Structure 1
């Protein structure tokens, strides 16, 4: 339908206007319900990834309950193992933080002198900026000494906030696994419920996108995990050769941040530079870090991703970035991690529902979407 016909029909204009308002309040609702919905969505995506393992166990005559428990334990072992490895590396880094500060301080002084010499910023403005960002030098003298009572209250308040955040995280973590267990155990019931939402004559029509979206999430997450393992090995090798002391920590950070397209890669490179310079790295180390990231990113973009994904996601890169930014605005880091699989599911439904095929064309890669549409006709 052309735009002229739409604007000539007041009912259509009102419908589109109400749809825009509905999306706005949907976003507000998602932001407000993060604490409730985020564990459910994460559990749902983990369940999609774990279904093939559960089916394999059930093909070996495992009862449904025991296959579900086994898959749950496998997920728990993997998550705890990765978390323990990262926390161990972070703890070692924090133990060396005082030495890193001493190594990094001359570099900061050189940067400061360069800025003062080659920019209009004067010493007073520089000190003001440092104070605003909380990086002013510590002279060993407290300009404002607080009474012991106030200091104790502040420490107690900080301890309570930390305990609250810790218990909140543990509660969400436990809830996520409870949801994962129930989704895997009753997955057939949830699938039949999704089909029952549609009329009898249209159930087979919507059965295909539901199954396809599940396989797509499995395909994406499995491929992403494989890529992360490859990236850890490549980053660790290159950074070790470059002489970075905390090369394992930098490699893990680089692999984890690769989940976030484009932005994560730049962030990982900056963190690796900071770790390298902070450990006393010279120009050779900086060049080695830069070459490592350039080579790994080239291999990741032009070799590994085409082989692993084979372009089956078929999502426009513009909307990949946009979905990650929207996910961050709604649910923060969790939203950034789950943004691409959720958007891939939305794209699959848009391509398979006639009323939304225009959006399916917009969200997908133009050439492949056009070929698919032509073949369906």
Structure 2
């Protein structure tokens, strides 16, 4: 089929309209996407409970209770570790004051601005406490409301999953129903494997960072290990941010340059192990997204939905790739999003090394 300029313009216009729709429907779609991803993650557990003759409604509520316990546990753990950090707040405050004084001196020597002039500029730029409190209250209210919506969508998407599946089948022509059912089952299965694999990889990163930071003697090593591992949801950027925060707090606590360098080495070592061993074993190549589209997805997610968009970008892009790979007309787009054929080739140098690593770990 010949691609004309008109068809290209129509496709670009469609993409633009989809992006605009995602942007303006943020308040509706964002909790729905979170609820849908969590429902896909807990679908095997829900099916397991139902196979054990547990009523469907009780099985769904059990899944809800499980996710509430997990999220609550993470909040408690982070709160506990943050309270440990708060105990050192006076030391951190003094360090910040000393750094501020040094910065003021540098600005005075470099630009000739006195301390009074610098403070005057800061006061003009700083928002009032009332505005800060109002923003915080509004953000917390929005967070709580969205969290409730996520749980509601999670419950109903799990409960009505068969109904939704039948709806998709009814949309298909009679001759395409078998193919559609195969697409739904395969997409759901691979999506669950990807999401559960991502969760397992985050747990592995918690362990690896925890061991590395503990050996170095980093204060609150477990907290920073969990932070760095959890930020894996944002590829490339997340772990770098977590490591920078770890090194920054360690520096404020008086860490030697050798320890700061060791923190960077731990980060590089864990990332190498993750890329060469964990990803091939846990995630596999079927949902591998090439770096170009990883960055594009993160940037687009941030532009459309902000920080939640960054968190959702990679899982949604991976699920989109899975769907494209299983629909004949969309396979070129799945190919475009996926990794390079040379990287997947069994004869490639990278593939051979990764396969060797995988064999060693499995043994």
* Smaller-chain TM-score bracket: 0.7 to 0.9
Aligned length: 342
The one-character-per-residue Cα deviations of 1:15-56 (angstroms, maximum 9, x if unpaired) are 321221221122122112111111111101100001100111
User: Contact (CA 8 Å) 2:302, 2:309: kept in 1 or not?
Assistant: yes
What residue in structure 1 maps to residue 353 of structure 2?
none
Deviation of residue 122 (structure 1)?
Answer: 7.4
Query: Which deviates the most, 19-28 or 35-44?
Result: 19-28
Of 324, 340, 343, which aligns to 2:317?
343
Q: What do you get for the CA RMSD once the two structures are aligned? A: 3.0
Partner of 2:14: 22
Q: Which secondary structure does the structure 2 equivalent of 1:258 belong to?
A: helix
Q: 1:257 to 1:20 in 2, by over 3 A?
A: same
Which of 259, 278, 283 is the equivalent residue of 2:252? 278
Does 2:44 correspond to 1:52? yes
From the superposition, tell whether residues 370 and 242 of structure 1 become closer, same or farther in structure 2 (CA, over 3 Å). closer
* Structure 1: runs of 5 or more not aligned: 8-12, 145-150, 372-377
CA distance in 2, matches of 1:188, 1:205: 17
Match of 2:226 among 252, 255, 258: 252
| Equivalent position of 2:170 in the other structure | 196
Distance 1:101 1:171, change over 3 A: same
Where do 5+ consecutive residues of structure 2 fail to align?
Answer: 346-363
Alpha-carbon spacing, 1:157–1:293, altered in 2? closer, same or farther (3 Å): closer
Matched, 1:221 2:207: no
Tell me the distance in 2 between the aligned counterparts of 1:131 and 1:83. 42
The 8 Å contact of residues 246 and 275 in structure 1, kept in 2 or not, is answered as no
Structure 2 CA distance, aligned partners of 1:368 and 1:330?
33
Structure 2 counterpart of 1:34:
26
Larger radius of gyration: 1
1:312-327 alignment, distance < 5 Å: 312-327=286-301
TM-score (norm 1): 0.81
Picking from 36, 42, 65, the partner of 1:73 is 65
**Does residue 332 of the first structure (1) align with residue 324 of the second (2)?**
no
Partners of 1:205 and 1:143 in 2: CA distance: 64
* TM-score relative to the length of structure 2: 0.84
> Could you say what secondary structure the match of 1:297 adopts?
helix
Q: Secondary structure at the match of 1:312?
A: helix
Does the 8 Å contact 1:236/1:248 carry over to 2? yes
